[in-house]
Amino acid sequence: MILRARQRRLELGRRPLLMGILNATPDSFSDGRGEEPVEVRLARGRALVAAGADIIDVGGESARGDRPAVAADVEIERVETLVGALARDGALVSVDTYKPAVAEAAIAAGAAIVNDVSGLRDPALAELCARTGAALVLMHTAVEPKGTLLDPATYADVVADVVAFLRSRMALAREAGVAAEQLILDPGPDFAKTPAQTVAVLRRLDAVLALGRPVLLAASRKDFVGAITGRAPADRDPGTLAALGLGVDAGASILRVHDVAGAADYFAVRAVLRGERVLEPLEGLTPERYPDGAPPHLALG
């Protein structure tokens, strides 16, 4: 499957792409870093690339429902410099925003993907992506941005609701001029869903994939993982890997993660054990790994 993101044309499916999360906010639910100088955030973004991130998703507003919305100019100030620096490095950059003004500033700075967690509530975002060629992530949610909804009775059939919503958002984007190859679908784990509803959707990713566009799985450190494991957000990376593995088996193409290095290692080992990559007999082994002296077959001449 092809994804077009401005000047880039990506062929998806050979392996999952890792989208590293770069929060430029003081109130992220997952890390609680507080205020940081832009240089520190930029260093974190570059470290994500070095760890194996294929995409860097820069966000200037927390999705937490217990925090007020951020003004567009404040959000632009938080993300613009980071997006520009990472794009100049050659990174493929996504901007996590539902505000057209923020998306436009980020695209001008070099972003190639708009990750819209509002479910395209403002059609101007689609018009912007149509004009610039930026890829557009369409996410399922039943509430306004910053809203919360945890009600077991919300959906008669949560999977059917997700599929119908995403189909309608795809049609809206296409009517605005967005090409099919620019669209990415996100079933919205935890957004207006109880943990059980999220699990129901993730068990039926095939229904979302049947819409014909690549699926982004944003399961990292989410509340459904916490509900299963009893872990706080910062301790949910092992549980996240289970969700990612299932998602890739179902066909997810892009994985939005906090722990890029851990996810990269997980999928590297998985690929070798599944026979998808061949490990050469001495690949990765060096005498320095043996403090008591290298085995004879690795001794340096």
State how far the Cα of 200 lies from the Cα of 204, in Å rounded to an integer.
7
Cβ–Cβ contacts within 10 Å for residue 241, how many? Answer: 22
Nearest to 43 by CA among 110, 108, 89: 89
Q: Which helix (H) or strand (E) holds 19?
A: strand 17-23
What b/e string do you get for 90-104 counting C-beta neighbours within 10 Å, with b at 16 or more? Answer: ebbbbbbbbbbebbb
State how far the Cα of 55 lies from the Cα of 260, in Å rounded to an integer.
10
Mark out the alpha helices in the chain (DSSP H runs).
38-51, 72-88, 100-109, 124-132, 158-175, 195-202, 205-209, 223-229, 237-250, 260-273
Which of 256, 270, 274, 277 is an active site residue?
A: 256
Which of 193, 221, 222, 236 is an active site residue?
A: 222
Say if CB 254 and CB 17 are below 8 A apart: yes
Q: Which tokens go with 125?
A: 């975002």
Would you call 138 exposed, middle or buried from its count of C-beta atoms within 10 A (0-12, 13-18, 19+)?
buried
Nearest to 61 by CA among 36, 96, 87: 96
Say if CB 18 and CB 55 are below 8 A apart: yes
Annotation says 256 is catalytic: yes
Active site members: 222, 256
